Structure 1
């Protein structure tokens, strides 16, 4: 039986005209956010200053929809930037002196436990019977 192997699986389908679903969501979300920012700021700021806040929202929406860095979507770079800026960083050259907390009780208990095994009388009898220690000592 021959099967058809799907090709071009990395290419997204165009759903809304020339836009993919992701591109359409980014553009619609950016337009909606720009409209909300415009309506809020237009009430008490002049148009020039309002556009100063609206244009970056539109630019971010277009960058998310169309701009690629090293053939990867722009959202990957934005995500990597957020992880870098807000993530935990390990600096090898910055030594932090942390006081070592050693509990003496824990070390003493562990050393005592390792030296003397706890055996009950019945366990000792079972071991001696298994080794025939009692029988050989009675015969002699």
Structure 2
């Protein structure tokens, strides 16, 4: 083997205790948000505010959806929702179809008449023979 290929590239290194650098920084940001609340409020208000913030920080630090972090999924969802959507075809409810010319209308009417005149047995026969139906009598090559 000429080259040594690294394995487990997608696994982040544990840098600070059991946390990766990204997880640790997420908890640091949450703590920085909670320090002023702890200093300027009483304990019950601090606990009321700290629990949701720490819960959200834990979700952002640890949750992965299909191998992507929750912050990446959230960013993708926000960018998808904020950009314009491209509609290739959108049917309007009250817009009637417009016929371009009379020849096309006549061809459509004759095709509808042909469909109505086709009997159920001929349709069944064409389905059974995969469309190879001849309405003329043919000579049998085996009969002499």
Deviations 1:67-89 (A, max 9, x none): 1122321111221232244x232
Calculate the TM-score normalised by the size of structure 1: 0.53
By relative contact order (CA 8 Å, sep 6+), the higher-ranking structure is 1
Gaps (5+ residues) in structure 1? Answer: 96-140
Kindly indicate whether the alpha-carbon contact (under 8 Å) linking 1:34 and 1:58 is maintained by their aligned counterparts in 2.
no
Cα root mean square deviation, aligned: 2.6
Question: Residue in 1 aligned with 2:64?
Answer: 68
1:5 paired to 2:5: yes
Q: Give the 5 Å matches for 1:1-140.
A: 2-40=2-40, 42=41, 47-85=43-81, 87-90=82-85, 92=87, 93=90
The count of corresponding residues between Structure 1 and Structure 2 is 90
Calculate the TM-score normalised by the size of structure 2: 0.52
- Structure 2 CA distance for partners of 1:15 and 1:94, relative to 1, 3 Å: farther
Gaps (5+ residues) in structure 2? Answer: 93-144
- Structure 2 CA distance for partners of 1:6 and 1:49, relative to 1, 3 Å: same
- Structure 2 CA distance for partners of 1:83 and 1:37, relative to 1, 3 Å: farther
**Structure showing the higher helix proportion among its residues:** 1
Cα shift at 1:54: 2.3
Runs (4 or more) in structure 1 with deviation over 4 Å come to none
Cα shift at 1:94: 9.6
User: Is the partner of 2:76 in helix, strand or coil?
Assistant: helix
